[in-house]
Structure 1
């Protein structure tokens, strides 16, 4: 841009200088000695002329007759061309250049000088001005443009540095956060100040990844803790019947069971412990299979029919109990594994029979909610109920609500855990509530089969 401007500016400045010289031809007295007569010029009118211009009189042969170089005070040699008066007559107002031995060139114009005998030209008046001012202007322009260019470059470099520093500052934070995470501090997160930039997107992605990693670690710790507690509880639950069986075996071996009644009682006790141990092992295997998350054999299930079947089974198991079934007129249908859903109902009804007084009624209620797209069934008993503060804990493995729910009831402590796992595998929820008037209500909610 600067070179283009210079190549355009210099001709313009030269044109201005040429215009000024042409104007001098209209009134050459401005460059001659004051009082000079342009119609009868003499050398004295030229030799003492203003040193700002070069003024010379050329004779009829085109050579320099006299000029004002002596008035300049500084030696200067110009290569003035030979210009005849006739050529000057033909080129009035035409500018041309004159070279100098040293320094810049000069721009010049000529005009013929008339003789005293008539209008025939007797010589030529040459007026020239140095292009030094043009060169100085161009030099100043080059200096200013260079300085401006350097300033622009320095400013651009500074702004670029600031921009790059600000842009990549979050990367330094990412590096620092990664370093702290590598040391084991998984709670660190990247502060995203500009979420709509590439670095911001990177920070957000890393934060999401760190959240997943943190959650995975927490789940791993929780799973390990659950596994340790589960193994401890399972070992304890299995040890108890084994100790009982071993005790009766040792009593028999030492001959302490001498009477037939004692022996029958011992054998009955061993049988019960073996049955309870078998139930516990079966429940443990069921939970292990559920933990494997095997694919379910899903089929359409009519909850009204399943509830009626569960009521018939309960009548056969406990004839003294009144079992009431409340069906839903909407005939809700869910998709699931029939055997698993029946096991859920069986476990919940067994829990109600176990922890409610003999002869007390049990209710099975089916409902649906079209707005939420769910169907539910409730197992309602009228026993002692479950305290509110432990209703979320009863689905943990080997957890019992209170001391009344002890091993004598025949439960393994895994029934509700199995219920929770089966319902979760079907994408549903199970929760415990208080029955109005006393008792426990277990509500299972499952997604309705899509049309």
Structure 2
């Protein structure tokens, strides 16, 4: 069945409209024909009843016809009327008003009609289809009258022909009008499809996509089916743009990450290679200095690789260890460690009296706090005060504040990006590879929290937030 239907929606709608009009026309024609046939048949039956009354109550004539039979006049009767009364062989009214005798075959068929007073149809040889009525008179004699159905059949036949012609005309008009109206109504849908084809033609597989085309606003009315399709397509295009932009940004980050990682790893590898070559060429008897330098660079490279591996694991969404962590103790221990490592700065903390507990990875949370303290130690001058505050209300908040020179405003938006250094002029021996702040943000995001910074000269605050569990 599907193979017989056209493939396009326009053609299917036109076929549907034409089919509905044709079926409706046939139903109306059938009902009208049935009603008209019943009406004309009822009128014919009324004439039969009237003819029966005249045949049964006709006054006796003084003069009898040949062989003692009573003649039945035909003048004033309907043409084709057949009358069969007692003592008369049956007559049929002709067009000239005469009433010749009917054939023996017709008279025999009429004699078999049951005299129950109900009209019925019968075919009479040489006379055609008749509507006949047989009934008993007051004296018990049987009278039979019949009228031809030709007037009814001719009228119904003409009616059917007119109905067929009108139905064909209505179907043809519906086909033409349906084509025009359907194409006009589906024009917005074609415009939506054109927008989709325009998007398909765009180079979405490479590079940054930017803003794609959109379905016009007048075609996004949610009150119409086409508007719903247009609105849904615009939403889909928005999601596709966001996904493609995110993919492009991720690809750029991966490329930048690989370039930065290669650059960071090249330096310790070059140093190790250089010292190894120096030791091989000079043949020095005291290799301790060379081995110490090689060990130092290998350790720094190992730390860099571990940090990149941790970032990769956090980016992949790998589940972290989740256990109750006492942040109060964690902050106090981290500040005490910072005092021992860097006594040139003033380290203070402010924590609640009651333990603040969250669910998470204690080692990673300790690493995040330690990275912030290390960052303050590296980028502030001696005698700077670093204050760590822990608060817990609707969320857990850790603030690391210092009164140092602050962060360059141009660096603040990218401070948590990878391989970003606060002082690009300093040597690598004085600091890390620029992964500390990106690790802080990744650890917070893995715990469902966030990392932020506000900085101006003399007032810099890094803030870590964690949800309360």
> What TM-score do you get using the length of structure 2 for normalisation?
0.66
Tell me if 1:353 matches 2:364: no
1:23 Cα deviation from its structure 2 partner: 2.6
**Alignment match, 2:124:** 99
For residues 155-177 of structure 1, the C-alpha deviation after alignment (integer angstroms, 9 at most, x for no partner) is 99899998899899969977994
Structure 1 291/45 Cα, relative in aligned 2: closer, same or farther at 3 Å? same
Match of 2:250, SS state, is helix
| DSSP-derived class of the 2:262 partner | helix
Per-residue CA distance 1:301-340 (angstroms, 9 max, x = gap)? 1222111111211111122322111113564311111111
Sort the Cα spacing of 1:41 and 1:388 in 2 relative to 1 into closer, same or farther, 3 A: farther
Residues 1:365 and 2:385 are matched in the alignment:
no
Rounded Cα–Cα distance in structure 1 between residues aligned with 2:226 and 2:109: 77
Question: Corresponding residue for 2:147?
Answer: 129
Instruction: Judge conservation of contact 2:52–2:143 (CA < 8 Å) in 1.
Output: no
Which residue of structure 1 aligns with residue 309 of structure 2? 288
| Structure 2: gaps (5+ residues) | 1-26, 66-70
Q: Does residue 1:428 correspond to 2:428, yes or no?
A: no
Q: Secondary structure at the match of 1:307?
A: helix
Q: For 1:243-254, what aligned pairs fall within 5 Å after superposition?
A: none
Contact preservation (8 Å) 1:301, 1:338? yes
Separation in 2 of the partners of 1:213 and 1:182?
A: 14
List per-residue Cα deviations over 1:14-66 (Å, max 9, x = no partner): 343232232345568xxx9xxxx8755898983544553537686x64225x7
Q: Tell whether the 8 Å contact from 2:351 to 2:391 is kept in structure 1 after alignment.
A: yes
Considering only CA atoms, is the larger Rg found in Structure 1 or Structure 2? 1
How far 1:146 sits from its partner (Å)?
5.0
Question: 1:24-43 maps to which residues of 2 (within 5 A)?
Answer: 24=51, 26=53
Match of 1:395 in 2: 416
* Residues 80, 92 of structure 2: 8 Å contact kept: no
The alpha-carbon distance between structure 1 residues 267 and 144, as it changes in their structure 2 partners (threshold 3 A), is: same
Q: Following superposition of structure 1 onto structure 2, how do residues 45-124 of structure 1 map, counting pairs within 5 Å? A: 46=73, 48-50=75-77, 52=79, 54=81, 61-64=87-90, 68-69=93-94, 71=96, 81=107, 99-107=124-132
Q: Which runs of 5+ in 1 are unaligned?
A: 114-119, 258-262
* Pairwise CA distance, 1:381: 1.3
Pairing of 1:399-410 with structure 2 (within 5 A) = 399-403=420-424, 407=428, 409-410=430-431
In structure 2, what is the Cα distance between the partners aligned to 1:172 and 1:41?
A: 94
Alpha carbons of 1:281 and 1:178: their partners in 2 closer, same or farther (altered >3 Å)? Answer: farther
Deviation at 1:233?
Answer: 2.2
Contact 1:46 1:57 survives alignment (8 Å): no
CA shift at 1:446, angstroms? 1.3
1:260 corresponds in structure 2 to: none
Q: For 1:183-219, what per-residue CA distance to the aligned partner results, in whole angstroms no more than 9, with x for missing partners?
A: 7446778969698999999999998887777655544
**3-state SS in 2 of match to 1:392:** helix
Q: Alpha-carbon deviation of 1:357?
A: 1.4
Decide which of 302, 311, 314 is 2:326's aligned counterpart: 302
Shift of residue 77, structure 1, vs aligned partner: 6.3
Q: 1:76 to 1:440 in 2, by over 3 A?
A: farther
Q: Does 1:378 align with 2:399?
A: yes
CA distance in 2 between partners of 1:7 and 1:430 (Å): 85
Structure 1 equivalent of residue 439 of structure 2: 418
Confirm or deny that 1:232 pairs with 2:247: no
Q: 1:151 to 1:289 in 2, by over 3 A?
A: farther
CA distance in 1 between counterparts of 2:97 and 2:47 reads 21
Cα distance in 2 for partners of 1:203, 1:140 equals 53
Q: 1:287: Cα distance to partner?
A: 2.2
CA distance in 2, matches of 1:337, 1:182: 48
Once residues 140 and 416 of structure 1 are traced to their aligned partners in structure 2, the CA distance between those partners, rounded to angstroms, is 96
* Shift of residue 235, structure 1, vs aligned partner: 3.1
2:346 maps to 1:322? yes
| Residue range with higher mean Cα deviation, 336-345 or 195-204 | 195-204
Deviations 1:333-379, CA, capped at 9 Å, x for gaps: 11111111111111110110111110111100101232xxx212111
Secondary structure at the residue paired with 2:451? Answer: strand
Partners of 1:272 and 1:223 in 2: CA distance: 36
Q: Matches of 1:389 and 1:78 in 2, distance apart?
A: 122
* Alpha-carbon contact 1:332-1:448 (below 8 Å) kept: no
CA shift at 1:385, angstroms? 0.9
In structure 1, the residue corresponding to 2:45 is in which secondary structure?
helix
How far residue 443 of structure 1 moved from its aligned partner, in angstroms, is 0.7
The 3-state SS of whatever aligns with 2:96 is helix
